Amino acid sequence: MAKAAKPLTELEGTTALPRAVPRGGPGVAPCGACAVRPLAICAAMPLEHLAQLAAIVTSVSLTAGQPLFLEGEPARHHFIVTGGALKIYKLLSDGRRQVTGFVFPSDFLGLANKETYAYSAEAMTRTELCRFRREKLEAMLDRFPQLERRLLAVANDELAAAQERMLLLGRKTAKERIASFLTTLGRTTSRRGESKQVVTLPMSRTDIGDYLGLSTETVSRTFTELKLAGIVRLEPKSRVRILDDRKINLLAECEDATLGL
């Protein structure tokens, strides 16, 4: 849980506090050398104008558990994650929580927001991000249609993923949810080059439960079930090794399960 750390935006807003968090201003973290650029929307930026992007970015970093922003705050920034991992979530007034997504390096963070943030975002590990003032990034979109096109594609993908999640939340059993979770996470981490057989879970059981619409206990029990069935092995450091690819994909029941991937 959040350790009552103040959200970044508050720390910085209009106050004159020492800027503890941003690590560098324009030019300090040149986009040209960015490791996640090929996968991020920045890849759509024409190389010769990359400096314009670098000129409006601020690099920020968060420690585990630190909120980036809270639902309902004025949405002043967009972000691109360069390292670490965050969760985004919505709360009900009595504390029930739905984690609506996990955000990883190269992901764009800021869609779905209007005047205010539509959800809260909190770092799960030490996290690095590029921060853009909204107006400035949007002006950039005007100037570089390729960038806007790319953002639309990202929104499209997220929309498709959201519908997949609705199917999961509305109609899948606990076992299917966990299986889908593992295969989907495996697919996204392998997109960034890592093995698909070993999935690292930077989030707690509670977060997984709140993501899948289950209780912590059910998540835990279901992991044990999958373990006893020989489908996964639970390894140290929050790693899960997928032992039986076919079975877990069958359980996950995503259309692409039949691909046997």
Partner DNA sequence: CGACGTCGTTGAGCTATGTCAAAACTGAGC
Partner DNA sequence: GCTCAGTTTTGACATAGCTCAACGACGTCG
d(CA 103, CA 83) in angstroms, rounded, equals: 10
Nearer to a copy of itself, 29 or 88 (CB): 88
Among 10, 73, 164, 225, binds a copy of itself (CB under 8 A): 164
Region of residue 72 (left: phi > 0; alpha: psi -120 to 50; beta: else)? left
Integer Cα distance of 207 and 224 in angstroms: 17
Nearest Cα to Cα of residue 157 among 244, 62, 37, 39: 39
Nearer to a copy of itself, 205 or 227 (CB): 205
Query: In the set 3, 4, 48, 170, which binds a copy of itself (CB under 8 A)?
Result: 170
190 binds DNA (CB under 7 A): no
Q: Which of 196, 199, 215, 197 is nearest to 207 (CA)?
A: 215
Q: Is 28 in the site for a copy of itself (CB under 8 A)?
A: no
The 121-150 contact track toward a copy of itself, x by CB under 8 A, reads --------------------xx--x--xx-
CB 127 within 8 A of CB 82: no
- Single out the residue of 217, 219, 228 nearest to residue 201, CA to CA: 219
Nearest in space to 53 (alpha carbons), one of 155, 152, 133, 170 = 133
Q: Is 158 in the site for a copy of itself (CB under 8 A)?
A: yes
Q: Is 213 in the site for DNA (CB under 7 A)?
A: yes
Stretch near a copy of itself under the rule CB under 8 A, chosen from 37-45, 50-58, 62-70, 151-159:
151-159
Q: Is 173 in the site for DNA (CB under 7 A)?
A: yes
Verify binding: residue 224, DNA, rule CB under 7 A: yes
Q: Interacting stretch for DNA, rule CB under 7 A, among 27-35, 120-128, 149-157, 210-218? A: 210-218
> Which one of 46-54, 58-66, 163-171, 224-232 is the stretch in contact with a copy of itself (CB under 8 A)?
163-171
CA dihedral 166, 168, 169, 173 (to 10 degrees): 160
* Under rule CB under 7 A, residue 175 binds DNA: yes
User: According to the binding rule CB under 7 A, does residue 26 interact with DNA?
Assistant: no
CA atoms of 239 and 237, how far apart (whole Å)? 5
Grouping H, G, I as helix, E, B as strand and the rest as coil, residue 59 is strand
Q: Which two tokens stand for residue 89?
A: 């979530």
* One of 88, 168, 223, 231 touching DNA (CB under 7 A): 223
Q: Which residues bind DNA (CB under 7 A)?
A: 1, 173-175, 204-206, 213-221, 223-224, 234, 236-238
